[in-house]
Amino acid sequence: MKDNQPLMREAVALSFADPWTPRQRVVAGDRHGDREERRTLEAATDVVAYLGAPVLPLPDDSAADPGTGTDEDLRIGEWPGLGQVCRIVREVEYVSGRRAGETTREEAFALTSLPPELADPARLVALWRGHWQIENGLHWVRDVTLDEDRCQVRTGHAPAVFAACRNTCLGLLRRAGYPNAAAALRRHAMYPREALALLGIT
């Protein structure tokens, strides 16, 4: 859940801030080198009816004030099929090395269509980690390595064409067995004939 839905995010955050909110919880942890990581996932259903309710059109006299945003900013519902809301707290404690004794804490929220009877917190933790493997393995490469975020192409069909080119590039590199897209791009910039060979051009 990102900050582009501020009212929805606030509703979920307030739900978990209330100590009386019924919730399920699981704690998972592991160690990576000099740091220990602990993830606590909590799942609740108390705001599901609120966030999943159909949104009625706003009457003309209740339109948003020009200085506070648009009508869309006031519309929170329209999440049909919502099953649970989740909060995950990730705490990292450095147990050795230069940062020994330092602790960091991050908090994030998510929505899922899976109800509690189909996904308990332990399964939700596994699904969440799987999502971030996709995020780091694909979206990070597209956004950062291929610099998609800074692309200035925004008109006509050009953005879709550029996205298709990036996806094709990543697909070719992965099919060729390159584990690191950035290193592969640097190599093919130095040896363009190898890049052409990926396309079957000799």
Q: Does the pTM of the predicted model rise above 0.85?
A: no
Q: Of residues 198 and 133, which shows the higher confidence score?
A: 198
What is the model's pLDDT at position 59? 58
Mean pLDDT of all residues in 79-91: 88
pLDDT of 63 strictly over 70: no
Helix 181-190 with 158-175: angle, nearest 10 deg: 90
- Spatial distance between the Cα atoms of 65 and 51, rounded to a whole number of angstroms: 23
pLDDT of 73 strictly over 50: no
What is the model's pLDDT at position 43? 92
Residue 46, both tokens: 């108390």
Residue 188, both tokens: 């093919």
Q: Over the chain, what is the mean pLDDT?
A: 80
Q: Of residues 32 and 43, which shows the higher confidence score?
A: 43
pLDDT of 51 strictly over 50: yes
Hey, what amino acid is at 139?
H
Angstrom CA distances, 189 to 1, 140, 195, 202, stand at 37, 20, 8, 16
Strand partners, 32: 35
What is the model's pLDDT at position 84? 92
Residue 139, both tokens: 């979206």
Residue 150, both tokens: 């800074």
pLDDT of 8 strictly over 90: no
pLDDT of 164 strictly over 50: yes
Mean pLDDT of all residues in 178-197: 89
